[in-house]
Amino acid sequence: MFSLVNFKKVHFSMDKEKIIKSHHNFFQFCSKAYNLMNPKNKLHTKGCKLSAGISVINGLKIINQGSDNEVIIGDFVRINKSTIIIRGNHNKISVMNYASLNQVELYMEDSHNEISVGEHTNLFGKAHLATIEGTKILIGNNCLLSGDLHFRTGDSHSILNLTGERINPSKDIVIEDHVWIGTKVTCLKGVRVSKDSVVAATTTLCKEYNTPNVIIGGVPGRIIKTDVNWTSDRI
Q: What angle do CA 210, 179, 177 make, to 5 degrees?
A: 80
pLDDT (0 to 100) of residue 13: 52
Cis before 212 (ω within 30):
no
Q: Dump pLDDT digits (tens) for 191-213.
A: 999 999 999 999 999 999 999 99
Calpha distance 44→178 (Å, rounded): 32
pLDDT (0 to 100) of residue 16: 60
Backbone dihedral angles phi then psi of residue 191, each to the nearest 5 degrees? -80, 140
Which residue, among 125, 25, 26, 35, has the nearest Cα to 71 in the 3D structure? 35
Give me the residues of the chain with pLDDT under 70, please: 1-17, 19-21
pLDDT (0 to 100) of residue 19: 61
pLDDT (0 to 100) of residue 22: 81
Rounded to the nearest 5 percent, the helix, strand and coil shares of the chain are: 10, 40, 50
Architecture of domain 7-226: 3 Solenoid (2.160)
pLDDT (0 to 100) of residue 25: 84
Structural domain boundaries of the chain? 7-226
Q: What angle do CA 19, 93, 57 make, to 5 degrees?
A: 45
pLDDT (0 to 100) of residue 21: 63
